[in-house]
Structure 1
């Protein structure tokens, strides 16, 4: 069995020489077997070990006996043991979640804490081949796709590892007996009161007896094959993501051309976009992915609300995914007096609430200046400004006299002509000199303050796009 585990560890590059590995130790057969196997191979793997145990306070005296067993086992092996007690029922009630979900949250928070405080590199979790088979069957019954068939992955986030995922529960039990480990037994695992227990205690034995005695191995092989295909599709979708998606300050813009790629790639691209904005894909289902696809086929300006305070908007065929704003846009205004700018020559401003920051600099006219070097750098006749420079967001009725035109044009029409998404229009700065709009940043400048051969002093304004 040691050979089987060490080969599995090396095949998946789970551990490197010198790693500190924290074992999630409940005291049950799986985690006890995992700790003992790693302990026996610690010199060969070049690792040091520790154990972490959470007392969920769910099973009365049994919970404290589990805790005592864990302490004694770690003491006998000479490894550090980190224990925490949490009232999971109270936590579940407080957060309005199931006890199972609360227990999972508590465990992973504790693991993170121990990693940070004690310098561990990996956390070893005792999922086994039977757990994998049960997970796949449960997902099949819920109508999973290829990603669901991958089941439990050997490594997650390059921290959480599952070294005995290749070992069946029968092998684990035999190992515990032959090594006199006497693990603790959670009696609730023997009762058909939870869905997973029914799969474990009823469904898998039924399939073994009537259809396939090697069903656990067959389902693990299915997971391995699904993982190979899934990794290939994921890599291809990632290439499409970088081709068609633009990340911008917590917002994703998916180019309309992305919606012509294969559905298998598109759905993953959208899921990755959601993850960038939300930081998680929890609460998102495939129907939300297809809602976004249908949104793209509709009219510009339409939007849909998604879980986790996410909103998706159709902007001329592009899809913008961002955090939903619950408040109406507030008026934003930054004022720089001409007198202050005369004294400083250069002014740097942090424009909170707008898409950019800005640098203003006064300089003498230089014929070498390239007036069209960048959409975010523009030059104006400084002497035509009387009192102040104002940088603000749009207001109803705003107009500008565009360069080269005799009349004025509404700012709203400029946004429409340039297909600026509704969600971004309030964040685009307008530069005003006294009472006149001189620049719709990135789009149009005014004819009123243009630089010509008679200009003596120039105001250079450079906007810096915020990451």
Structure 2
């Protein structure tokens, strides 16, 4: 079968796109993403889709990274595809967050893709995972002790947004296609260094298995993933049926009836996990140990409670388990920071203090109205509520803090702002810093960030008012 036809069949079988979709291709410049872009572009008329491309320069490989970006841009020019790129210092971000460059890179890529999705009104984001990536993922998860869902590996479609059209192609097929079409993709030499766990599996584990146990291990693992997915879909249908039977949303809480705990362990654990994820709205941080904590706890005395991740509290009520949100603490003046989730805010007033500076802070979610005086005063500011995805933190300044001042595109160090304004050193740690999703939104009384400003598309506002108590 011609590879293009193989991909078309895979796209149709998995309902990846529909007519009129605008599809963003994650384009690194390597063989996988170049093959993906070229095949999708050749199928765009048949599928009736529009193609865009996005490239992240991670600034990790100096001149080589710049050449990757140049190649990707030129390829898109030749194919008449709109191209978007962004340079990000991944090493700096990884150090700031205390995470690996691999994880930091992934987070920044997806962040950029989703920014473009919102800006360009895109329908799908195409990622260039292939059969070999799938095999490597399954081995990695098996080594870590995954369950059935983990053995499904990489899904062809996730969240009806991320699609993987060449997950049906092997790395050899991709290299053959790139050679046949004379695409000459860029090669990242770090892919051939065994510095990451995935690279070690790719370069050592799989070749060893192929040579000593199963020369067709890549396809074998992909068949395993398919079979696991078939079984899991059946199990999930039973989980949904049991969830609807045993779980009841009531007055901002979720009640899991005690009869659920009579079910088989395989079903019960999945129902509990679904309950936790549905109630919290968060898919991560819940582990099997938390599930078994609930099962053990349910057998104990009524009235007892346990705290779980994502601000969830479980209460034993005569054998029923009631999930509630932990109420935010009312902080005292001597506390040094405030952390709140944006979804919890309707109207909230808290006390906050830094050194001799004491404040009452009022948070209000309000509808956008043209008559609002947005230049009220330096201690009252309005922000676009819908641009804030998760967490609000109010704290003192930290070394290396930067802000994108209103009207600017680049960042400016807060230290330099304080120096330019001649703010005494002993007063700088008393000036509150407001951050949204770890980005500085407001140096209170001094500067507001451009990233959360109100524009013509703003629908909801977050109003933050600082009332100075004493100084």
**Normalization by structure 2: what TM-score?**
0.68
Match of 1:20 in 2: 22
Partner SS state of residue 212, structure 1: coil
Alignment of 1:34-49 (within 5 A): 34-49=36-51
Question: Aligned partners of 1:113 and 1:328: how far apart in 2?
Answer: 34
Q: CA deviation at 1:138?
A: 0.9
Q: CA deviation at 1:50?
A: 0.3
Say whether the 8 Å CA contact 1:271–1:281 is kept in structure 2.
no
Say whether the 8 Å CA contact 1:233–1:264 is kept in structure 2.
no
Q: CA deviation at 1:112?
A: 1.2
Match of 2:31 in 1: 29
Change (3 A) 1:5 1:144: same
Change (3 A) 1:208 1:74: same
Match of 1:100 in 2: 102
Match of 2:133 in 1: 131
Bigger radius of gyration among the two: 1
Change (3 A) 1:148 1:250: farther
Q: CA deviation at 1:39?
A: 0.8
2:216 to 214, 217, 224: 214
1:290 to 284, 289, 292: 292
RMSD between aligned residues: 2.0
Alignment of 1:6-405 (within 5 A): 6-248=8-250, 250-327=252-329
Which digits, 9 at most, give the CA deviation of each residue in 1:360-385, with x for residues without a partner? Answer: xxxxxxxxxxxxxxxxxxxxxxxxxx
Question: Aligned partners of 1:41 and 1:112: how far apart in 2?
Answer: 24
Partner SS state of residue 306, structure 2: strand
Q: CA deviation at 1:283?
A: 2.0
Moved more, 249-258 or 228-237: 249-258
Change (3 A) 1:277 1:92: farther
Count of residues in correspondence between the two structures? 334
Q: CA deviation at 1:98?
A: 2.0
Partner SS state of residue 41, structure 1: helix
Q: CA deviation at 1:321?
A: 2.0
5+ residue gaps, structure 2, are 332-345, 350-471
5+ residue gaps, structure 1, are 330-349, 354-467
Question: Aligned partners of 2:59 and 2:325: how far apart in 1?
Answer: 38
Q: CA deviation at 1:289?
A: 1.0
Alignment of 1:412-451 (within 5 A): none
Which digits, 9 at most, give the CA deviation of each residue in 1:175-233, with x for residues without a partner? Answer: 11111111111111101111111110001011111111110000000000000010111
Question: Aligned partners of 2:250 and 2:28: how far apart in 1?
Answer: 43
Question: Aligned partners of 1:312 and 1:61: how far apart in 2?
Answer: 53
Which digits, 9 at most, give the CA deviation of each residue in 1:240-290, with x for residues without a partner? Answer: 111111224653211111111222221111111111233223222211111
Q: CA deviation at 1:352?
A: 9.5
Partner SS state of residue 68, structure 2: helix
Change (3 A) 1:299 1:202: same
